[in-house]
Amino acid sequence: MISFKNFAEALGFNLGKYEVFTDMSDFELITQLMRREDYNRFIKGFVVEDEEHFMAYLYENFIDVRSLPEDENEVKDIINSKIPSIETEIAFVSSRFRKIFASSVIGDDIGADYSFYEKNIRKELYKGFFSHMLSSTRTVVPLRRIMLENYVWKKPSSGAGTERTLLLSSEDVDYLSEHDDELLFTLANESLSAVAPELMKYNSEGFSYAMHLSLDITKTDDEILSDLKKLLPIWRKELNLEEPEPKRTWGYLRERIIKYNIIPLMDLLMLAKFYTFGTKRRVPKRVLASMIYPNGERDGFGLEQTVIPFLEKIRPKIYKLLSEYKINKEK
């Protein structure tokens, strides 16, 4: 059976082709990281690592959504009939990797990407684009109607009222007023973030953890900021959230992306999933390390303890790097 190293080289992998990233602009480098993430989702779908990605893989490559019938059973039959043979899939995905390894730079035209991020993601302040919609930023959003939909009729997971919806019905209020006013007082004063933390994580704002609160904006900026500065660490402790790590500079991240050979590593990690899917053989970290660091800069242990944790830390932020560090096409 062909080894992983020989398999990668047969598809065109050559570490020397990745030297181009050293002198690449910040914008182009981040664009290449984003495109790797796109390919990674594709591979997750191919190896059926993720059901959602698998369906996206089928729809993007084998099924014409416009021709699907309305009947759900007919749709299932079409999907099953469109799942290609393993030989066809392997040939299809192999061609994708040959394309990646041919030059290591995915795609030539980044104008569309730039236009999208320039117009939408890189903004520091979003003006309300509807009547009665207040301005917001990437970290502060005034409460909107759509946000209430997530909470009003849901039941809390903790606190004194787990059997009742977060918004008490008028019948509940009347009953508790008459029979248990102490419980009513407790329920009225429980903090939403404390009794329904799972709803704070899965929020319409796309935040890692959304916290809703009231601000007296008639107070001075200094007064508001002073109180927030006192309360933020207390709230995080009460909600069992870790203090955010100090933000690394883009220069620091870029240096390690290049130094650690992150982009060829991302490509080989994707290829390793594909190889394991086809051969049922896992690819050891030492093999990956020998291909990424042929001069012995790091071994499998160093790869697993230092490089991969760095990659996993920046991975969720890849699509936000342009906005986080205000990087545009000219930089």
197, 148 contact by CB (below 8 A) = no
Q: Dihedral (C-alpha) 115, 119, 120, 121: value to the nearest 10 degrees?
A: 70
262, 315 contact by CB (below 8 A) = no
Q: Count Cβ atoms below 10 Å from residue 120 Cβ, excluding itself.
A: 10
Structure tokens at 33: 């990281």
pLDDT, residue 189, reads 96
User: Tens of pLDDT along 187-223?
Assistant: 999 999 999 998 888 777 777 888 989 999 999 999 9
pLDDT, residue 20, reads 95
Closest CA to 262 of 282, 288, 287: 288
135, 127 contact by CB (below 8 A) = yes
pLDDT, residue 54, reads 55
The number of CA neighbours under 13 Å toward the Cβ of 274 is 26
| Rounded distance between C-alpha atoms, residue 252 and residue 244, angstroms | 17
pLDDT, residue 121, reads 47
pTM above 0.75, yes or no: no
The number of CA neighbours under 13 Å toward the Cβ of 16 is 2
Specify whether the backbone of 281 is left (phi greater than 0), alpha (psi in -120 to 50) or beta.
Answer: beta
Handedness of CA 192, 194, 195, 196 (dihedral sign): positive
- Which amino acid, one-letter code, is at 239? L
Closest CA to 263 of 86, 22, 3, 4: 22
Contacts 24+ apart (CB under 8 A), 113-121: 113/31, 113/34, 114/27, 114/31, 114/328, 114/329, 117/322, 117/323, 118/328, 118/329, 121/319, 121/320, 121/322, 121/323
Find the length of the chain: 331
pLDDT, residue 95, reads 87
Phi and psi (nearest 5°) for 126? Answer: -105, 115
Low-confidence ranges of the chain (pLDDT < 50): 109-122, 331
Indicate the SS3 state at residue 237: helix
